[in-house]
């Protein structure tokens, strides 16, 4: 709908803007413009951005984003310090391919435009064009063949400027300070690549009829009338539409409770410290979840059994032997309470579904991903599974410790998953056995407790514009501490 500009957005009133810059590479791109087009040093460019913020001509950005931007600028310089003998000149205006048709085509369109976004360069004689796509890090999502083909085509056939003989598409990891070439060839080869990998995919894109609700719903001007976005007014217990529209999930809630800055920096998808993110316990938990996901998705559906194969971990999890053994022990206990014992048909099971709800009272898009939804005697049951390496009691207040349970209670209780007296379950796998706790959303006390947890999670967050750091013991397990100048130095944390 966005590509077809004749479908106008339906948004009624202007929304409140976030105070802080939300576009992660915004300060980086602004600083690069100063470096390349106004001959500033990295340091001067950063100072100039600060000055713009101070005199209100630019949006403020979080201190963590500033740390990241300084790193990114230095690393970008390192990645392209060797020009390979062919100096490239920065181009101010991005290239755009335009096609105007004499008569409307089968889509009713007469104009097509494709623009590339990245840092743009050309050789002094104009014979070579180069597009540098910036990525936070190279271990992120790889560019697809279609993306590379479309980018190469715009360089080969777009304006302004004379058409080149050679085009290059490069991806630069700003964390690593390293670049990798995605395409390097003649103009004709780029056009040919587009015919094979780009043209049809772009056609599918503008003809696409699929709705895929998710985090994008927060910025989508069609959201108020979207048939695929369920509305749950009052879900979060807030009645305040004066705030910027945002997304919220239990993961955000937990991060915010630990430290507002941490939540904000995670939203920017800044590179995380893998030694924290992939701690042994976290990896073991992920491996167990991944095994259960594969088991529950396999067709025909069969309940899990206590026999766990020796090679139960998926390839991406490199667990030490002790963790592999412990994981297998935990999984054996799952067989006792496997929900597939209660289900009958394929329609009775949803494994890790992505649930999205719009709460118009709070103007927040709520994202949730239950470990499992299964239908028991016609009603939906929400199951969360946790793993613990210890046998002793692990939580005194599960709804507070796991806010996704509180959200689940509220959603099931208000019938958001369908009618009937559904329930929420928490399965805790421990070395000596399994606990299965049930939460009844139709019990007034449980529902009230869930609402209290949600209120505690959301009230401060909903009115927060600054996301100030709250240094303390949490810094020791903070995966974005590297970008935080307020962090408390704790042994093992990144210096
Ligand atoms: S290092 Fe500490 S203060 Fe900084 S974001 Fe992480 S938890 Fe917050
Ligand atoms: Zn199972």
Q: pLDDT per residue over 396-444, tens digit each?
A: 789 999 999 999 999 999 999 987 899 999 999 999 999 999 999 999 9
DSSP strand pairing (355-359 vs 88-90): unpaired
Kindly tell me if the per-residue pLDDT of 495 is higher than 60.
Answer: no
DSSP strand pairing (423-430 vs 379-387): parallel
d(CA 467, CA 243): 15
Q: What are phi and psi of 289, to 5 degrees?
A: -60, -40
Q: Which residues surround ligand 2, an ion (CB under 5 A)?
A: 304, 338
Q: Taking residues 388-399, what's their average pLDDT?
A: 80
Burial class (CB in 10 A: 0-12, 13-18, 19+), 178: middle
Burial class (CB in 10 A: 0-12, 13-18, 19+), 425: buried
Kindly tell me if the per-residue pLDDT of 202 is higher than 70.
Answer: yes
- For the CA of 488, the closest atom of ligand 1 is 2
Tell whether the torsion through CA atoms of 382, 388, 391 and 393 is positive or negative: negative
Distance of CA 391 to the CA centre of its chain: 34
Burial class (CB in 10 A: 0-12, 13-18, 19+), 127: middle
Counting ligands in written order, which one lies closest to the CA of residue 488?
Answer: 1
Cβ atoms 228, 211 nearer than 8 A? yes
Kindly tell me if the per-residue pLDDT of 31 is higher than 90.
Answer: yes
Sequence-distant (≥ 6) Cβ neighbours of residue 59 within 8 angstroms: 19, 20, 21, 26, 53
Say what the pTM is.
0.92
| Ligand 1 pocket, residue 272 CB under 6 Å | no
Name the closest-CA residue to atom 5, ligand 1. 262
| Residue 419, pLDDT score | 79
Q: Taking residues 162-178, what's their average pLDDT?
A: 96
Tell whether the torsion through CA atoms of 137, 141, 142 and 148 is positive or negative: negative
User: In angstroms, what is the span from residue 344 Cα to ligand 2's centroid?
Assistant: 14
d(CA 418, CA 376): 13
| Residue 345, pLDDT score | 78
d(CA 243, CA 231): 18
Domain map (residue ranges) of the chain: 26-207, 274-463
Kindly tell me if the per-residue pLDDT of 494 is higher than 60.
Answer: no
- For the CA of 260, the closest atom of ligand 1 is 8
pLDDT band at 8 (very low <50, low <70, confident <90, very high): low
| Ligand 1 pocket, residue 487 CB under 6 Å | yes
C-alpha pair distances (Å), 226 with each of 229, 357, 391: 6, 12, 47
Q: Taking residues 329-337, what's their average pLDDT?
A: 96
Which of 481, 485, 492 is the best mutation target for the ligand 1 pocket, counting ligand atoms within 8 Å of the beta carbon and taking the most? 481
Name the closest-CA residue to atom 2, ligand 1. 475
d(CA 151, CA 494): 37
| Residue 38, pLDDT score | 96
User: In angstroms, what is the span from residue 314 Cα to ligand 2's centroid?
Assistant: 16
Domain 274-463, CATH number (from 3.90.320, 3.40.50, 2.60.40, 3.30.1380): 3.90.320
pLDDT band at 381 (very low <50, low <70, confident <90, very high): very high
Helices 145-157 and 199-207, interaxial angle, to 10°?
100
- For the CA of 469, the closest atom of ligand 1 is 3
Kindly tell me if the per-residue pLDDT of 25 is higher than 90.
Answer: yes
| Residue 84, pLDDT score | 73
User: In angstroms, what is the span from residue 335 Cα to ligand 2's centroid?
Assistant: 6
Tell whether the torsion through CA atoms of 435, 375, 211 and 362 is positive or negative: negative
Distance of CA 305 to the CA centre of its chain: 34
d(CA 418, CA 379): 8
- For the CA of 64, the closest atom of ligand 1 is 5
Q: Taking residues 292-298, what's their average pLDDT?
A: 94
């Amino acid at each position: 709908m966005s590509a077809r500009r004749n479908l106008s957005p339906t948004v009624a009133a202007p929304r409140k803007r976030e105070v802080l810059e939300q576009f992660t590479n915004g300060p980086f791109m602004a600083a690069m413009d100063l470096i390349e087009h106004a001959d500033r040093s990295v340091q001067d460019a950063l100072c100039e951005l600060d000055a713009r913020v101070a005199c209100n001509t630019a949006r403020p950005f979080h201190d963590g984003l500033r740390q990241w931007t300084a790193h990114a600028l230095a690393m970008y310089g390192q990645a392209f310090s060797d020009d390979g003998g062919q100096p490239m000149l920065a181009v101010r205006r991005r290239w755009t391919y335009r096609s105007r048709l004499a008569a409307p085509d089968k889509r009713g369109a007469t104009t097509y435009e494709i623009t590339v976004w990245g840092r743009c360069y050309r050789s002094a004689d104009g014979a070579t064009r180069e597009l540098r796509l910036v990525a936070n890090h190279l271990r992120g999502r790889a560019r697809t063949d279609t993306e590379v083909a479309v980018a190469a085509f715009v360089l080969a056939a777009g304006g302004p400027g004379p058409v080149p003989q050679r085009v290059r598409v490069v991806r630069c990891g700003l964390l690593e300070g390293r670049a990798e070439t995605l395409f390097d060839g003649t103009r004709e080869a780029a056009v040919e690549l587009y015919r094979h990998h780009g043209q049809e995919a772009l056609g599918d894109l503008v003809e696409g009829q699929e709705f895929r609700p998710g985090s994008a719903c927060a910025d989508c001007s069609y959201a108020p009338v979207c048939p695929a976005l369920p509305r749950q007014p009052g879900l979060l217990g807030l009645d305040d539409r004066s705030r910027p529209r945002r997304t919220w999930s239990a993961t955000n809630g937990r991060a915010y409770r630990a430290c507002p800055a941490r939540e904000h920096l995670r939203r920017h998808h800044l590179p995380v410290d893998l030694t924290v993110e992939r701690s042994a316990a976290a990896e073991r938990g992920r491996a167990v979840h991944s095994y259960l996901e594969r088991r529950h998705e396999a067709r025909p559906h069969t309940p899990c059994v206590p026999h766990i194969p020796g090679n139960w971990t998926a390839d991406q999890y490199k667990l030490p032997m002790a963790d592999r053994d412990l994981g297998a022990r935990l999984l054996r206990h799952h067989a006792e309470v496997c929900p597939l014992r209660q289900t009958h048909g394929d329609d009775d099971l949803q494994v890790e579904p992505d649930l999205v709800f719009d709460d118009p009272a709070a103007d927040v898009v709520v994202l949730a991903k239950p470990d499992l939804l299964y239908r028991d005697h016609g009603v939906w049951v929400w199951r969360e599974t946790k793993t613990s390496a210890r046998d002793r009691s692990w939580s005194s207040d599960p709804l507070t410790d796991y806010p996704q349970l509180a959200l689940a209670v509220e959603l099931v209780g208000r019938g958001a998953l369908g009618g009937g007296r559904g329930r929420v379950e928490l399965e805790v796998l421990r070395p000596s056995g399994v606990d299965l706790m049930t939460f009844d959303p139709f019990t007034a006390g449980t529902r009230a407790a869930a609402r209290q947890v949600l209120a505690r999670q959301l009230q401060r967050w909903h009115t927060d514009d600054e996301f100030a750091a709250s240094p303390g013991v949490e810094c020791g397990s903070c995966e974005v501490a590297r970008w935080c100048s307020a962090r408390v130095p704790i042994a093992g944390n990144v210096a």
